[in-house]
Amino acid sequence: MSSNVLLNVNGIEVIYNHVILVLKGVSLQVKEGGIVALLGGNGAGKTTTLRAVSNLLAGERGEVTKGSIELRGERIEKLTTSDMVERGVIQVMEGRHCFAHLSIEENLLTGAYTRKDGKAAVAATLEKVYNYFPRLKTRRTSQAAYTSGGEQQMCAIGRALMANPKMVLLDEPSMGLAPQIVEEVFEIVKDLNAKEGTTFLLAEQNTNMALRYADYGYILESGRVVMDGEAKALRENEDVKEFYLGVG
């Protein structure tokens, strides 16, 4: 395994409620500074894979029953979600989950709750987030409930950034958004990756968009990786074109 592998998921099985086997031996790697797409249809196991990495399974009555997950070589499958946040791994959940009654800025500030480096450092990160998401700056005092779906998605990503993450796990960032807004969100992800070095593992049903921005992709079907490769190679693969890109 090369030294710049940040995340190494090795043959994991995940079971919900002690009986429902959902992941049947998933392996994947994410290199430091990479953008990796986890693709596949409804129920393929994308969200479950992200939850396994960020240790959010327990709240869903799920557990990793086989295999291992390593972050920079450290086994992490027995850690808690807050241990993962401390290690710089933050998940942005599907459906955005902004606090509806809080303003955009209050939402963003909740993302900094684990930081111990003082108010000035948090304020500097907030300004940085506003630089990446000028829309959020304009809407900083608006109650999240009254902002658009795109703004809420940006708010959810911005809130994750407030923790100064090394790796962001993005679950279906395109869900429910107009194509132009999806493009805007992905452009910001690309920018963050290039300028801040933030690593992204993103689960997406929008294969076309994800493969335009990712450098590597894994395709999941029924809890198994059925194909993986460089994003460019996947985009040109005839099966991917036919079954996932809608051109064939």
- Interface residues with ligand ATP (CB under 6 A) are 16-17, 20, 22, 40, 42-48, 60, 62, 203, 205
Smaller CB separation from ligand ATP, 32 or 221: 221
Q: Nearest Cα to 133, choosing from 174, 95, 167, 162?
A: 162
Helix axes 179-196, 119-132, angle to 10 degrees: 130
Phi/psi of residue 214, nearest 5 degrees: -80, 160
> Nearest distance from residue 19's CB to ligand ATP, in Å?
9
> Nearest distance from residue 220's CB to ligand ATP, in Å?
6
Q: DSSP label at 87?
A: T
Count of alpha carbons within 13 angstroms of residue 36, beta-carbon side? 25
> Nearest distance from residue 157's CB to ligand ATP, in Å?
18
> Nearest distance from residue 145's CB to ligand ATP, in Å?
24
**Helix residue ranges, H only, the chain:** 46-54, 81-86, 104-110, 119-132, 134-138, 149-161, 179-196, 207-213, 231-236, 238-243
The two tokens of residue 198 are 């933030």
Distance CA 146, CA 175 (A): 18
Distance CA 246, CA 157 (A): 28
> Nearest distance from residue 233's CB to ligand ATP, in Å?
22
- 62-71, strands of its sheet edge to edge: 20-31, 5-16, 62-71, 74-75
> Nearest distance from residue 13's CB to ligand ATP, in Å?
12
Distance CA 240, CA 247 (A): 9
Smaller CB separation from ligand ATP, 37 or 203: 203
Smaller CB separation from ligand ATP, 158 or 223: 223
Whether the CB-CB separation of 71 and 23 falls below 8 Å is answered with no
Smaller CB separation from ligand ATP, 151 or 204: 204
Smaller CB separation from ligand ATP, 48 or 193: 48
> Nearest distance from residue 118's CB to ligand ATP, in Å?
38
